[in-house]
Structure 1
Amino acid sequence: MKTTARKMTVVLVCVLALVVPQMAFAHCDALDGPVINEARQALDKGEITPVLKWVSAESEDEVRAAFAHTLKVRALGDEARELADLYFFETLVRVHRAGEGAPYTGIKPAGTIDAPIMKADQALENGSVDALADAISAHVGKAMRERFTHALELREKADESVDAGREYVEAYVQYVHFVEGIVGVVHGDHAH
């Protein structure tokens, strides 16, 4: 039973995307995100294979060409290396984002990845999602209870006046949409 609850909780990570704008979750475009970290390693080793998993087969040639150009330009000095690396990062991230159906909005500075997303990556590194699942479960439960309590309190006064009724309806809609969002995520009815 506990394993099922944990699995459901992990799925609820996506619920945060319903509450916080999607751009806050993009971390493949951050200088300290997983895509660029692997790109750095690939450039240092001169081996592109590890980064190709981040792009579709149809886009592989574009990324391979950018990688080859980057390796050539890197040999021209430190400034050329820095510029070439940025060119490769931008190409890789742009192609990766396009494969997700997401717009490319540039490379974000290091340190801009939201804490829950960093913890999701750390869970993969550590081999356990339990602490993250428990924290997100607690957060989602608290947020649902707050919306429920607010709607319930306003429901008791909803028929006192039109304004009170409208206030209740607003709280009701926020509560129900929150629940609908969770159900949508659990059933896979959400965008990436």
Structure 2
Amino acid sequence: MKLTKKTLFAASTVLTLGVGLLFPTSAQAHCDTPDGPVAAALTLALEEYNFNYIANWVLEEDEAELLEVFNLSTSVMDASESEDASHLAERYLLENLVRIHRAGEGAPYTGISHEPIAKEVAAADASIEAGSLAPLEEAGLITEGNRAHAEEVFEKVLATKDYDPNDVAAGREFVENYVTFTHLFEVEHAEHHEAHEEDAHE
């Protein structure tokens, strides 16, 4: 079944997708933005009417909650003759998808961000896109101290990125590797990790 309504992001954004069909080529995107990988997955889910495209972005225990939101939102989009109602329903679905995804990471939901992606995450995404750590190296983000760990996680990302969208377990494995990899280079996560290590040492 296909959605009969043109939806807000599917209609307004032309997505050139790579890395398992989920990565926007633009660097100005991340998980809580309308142009990020989560929103890209949602666009595919709506275009194909296939919940599995977004199921892998939430924990297994949260899947039922997201499915309920997905069914409610898509039923509104299918039944409504109002473009505004359809847009609101999709916005509601995106916000809940991002909220549930971030909760699974242990992060608070702070709304849909329109801020540019941090250069560290842009470089991480570019490395995944290229299949090489070169973009991260050129940005000075690969050091002697983190190289071994970065290479280990990067290998896992590359090994799991080409999954069947209907294999939710495989999709979740990729998402976990992707999130772990990008968080290696996000300043706030790096600082939190260092503080945690110092506390453990003490």
TM-score by length of 1: 0.55
Which residue in the other structure is 1:78 paired with? 83
Matches within 5 A, 1:37-116: 37-75=40-78, 76=80, 77-109=82-114, 112-116=116-120
Which residue identity does 1:123 align to in structure 2? Answer: S
- With over 3 angstroms needed to count, the CA separation of the structure-2 counterparts of 1:189 and 1:42, relative to structure 1, is farther
Cα distance in 2 for residues equivalent to 1:131 and 1:39: 27
User: 1:34 is matched with which residue: 29, 32, 37?
Assistant: 37
Aligned length: 121
In 2, are the aligned partners of 1:93 and 1:104 still within 8 Å (CA)? yes
The one-character-per-residue Cα deviations of 1:75-128 (angstroms, maximum 9, x if unpaired) are 21321221111101111111111111110000112x521233123112212222
Structure 1 vs Structure 2: percent identity of aligned residues? 37
Q: How far apart, CA to CA, are the structure 1 residues paired with 2:141 and 2:37?
A: 25
CA distance in 2, matches of 1:122, 1:48: 27
Equivalent-residue separation in structure 1 for 2:129 and 2:135 (angstroms): 13
Cα distance, 1:137–1:107 mapped onto 2, change above 3 Å: closer
Structure 2: runs of 5+ lacking an equivalent: 1-28, 145-189
1:178 counterpart residue number: none
Runs of 4+ in 1 over 3 A off after TM superposition: none
Gaps of 5+ in 1: 1-25, 142-180
Normalised to the residue count of structure 2, the TM-score between the two structures is 0.53
In structure 2, distance between residues paired with 1:131 and 1:44: 32
Name whichever structure is richer in helix by fraction. 1
Which of 116, 132, 139 is 2:136 aligned to?
132
Q: 2:126–2:135: 8 Å Cα contact kept in structure 1?
A: no
Q: Name the CA distance, whole Å, in 2 between partners of 1:119 and 1:67.
A: 32
* Aligned residue identity for 2:53: P
For residues 125 and 89 of structure 1, the distance between their equivalents in structure 2, rounded to whole angstroms, comes to 24
Counterpart of 2:124 in structure 1 is 120
Paired residue secondary structure (2:139):
helix
SS of the equivalent of 2:87 reads helix
CA distance in 2, matches of 1:125, 1:137: 17
Specify which structure has the bigger relative contact order, considering alpha-carbon pairs within 8 angstroms and separated by 6 or more residues.
1
For 1:92, the aligned partner's letter is L
With over 3 angstroms needed to count, the CA separation of the structure-2 counterparts of 1:47 and 1:189, relative to structure 1, is farther
CA gap 1:119/1:78 in 2 versus in 1, 3 angstroms: farther
Partner of 1:136: helix, strand, or coil? coil
Question: Given residue 66 of structure 1, which amino acid in structure 2 is its aligned partner?
Answer: V
Larger Rg: 1
The separation in 2 between residues aligned to 1:127 and 1:121, in whole angstroms, is 10
